[in-house]
Homo-oligomer: A and B are copies of this chain.
Amino acid sequence: MTAPLIRVEAAAFDQGAELNRFASAAGAAGAVVSFSGLVRDEGGILEALEIEHYPAMTALAIQAIAEEAARRWSLTATLVIHRFGRLVPGEAIMMVATAARHRREAFEAAEFLMDYLKSRAPFWKKAFTAGGAEWVAAKASDEEALGRWG
């Protein structure tokens, strides 16, 4: 497969344009899966989400996760984009895309990437509402999701 494309950036990105670029470069793949995580408005109370990260570690950690995915599944291409900084409801926080010959591989690899990005990539979210600001707590279900991958 081609080397995983990994971008950690503050700027907004156009998920549709990214998907088109990714799919057109995916070559022999018949199956392309994408996941995008959006900022929810939480019933209108959320004003913004601020994402902090550990710059020296972030890309390395994502690279290691993507390489593990490439060992487990036959992927022809992998993309991970993750933003940091201040985001507002509706904006895309991050996106992964996988391409493979078979849909099951593309789906599983994308889920694997998401499960590890959730709990093993050094990002932290702070939610800002009219009532104040609060760090988003990690969910037990996210930690448990990793159990699926042995």
Binding site for B on A (CB under 8 A): 14-20, 23-24, 26, 28-41, 43, 90, 92, 101, 103-104, 106-107, 110-111, 114, 145
Sample 19 A-B pairs with CB under 8 A, ordered by A number: A14-B16, A14-B20, A15-B16, A16-B17, A19-B19, A23-B92, A29-B38, A30-B39, A30-B40, A31-B38, A32-B34, A33-B33, A33-B35, A35-B106, A40-B101, A104-B111, A104-B145, A107-B107, A107-B114
Known: A16-B17, A111-B107. A37 touches B28 (CB 8 A): no
Inter-chain contact A38/B34, CB cutoff 8 Å = no
Residues of B contacting A40 with CB < 8 Å?
28-30, 101
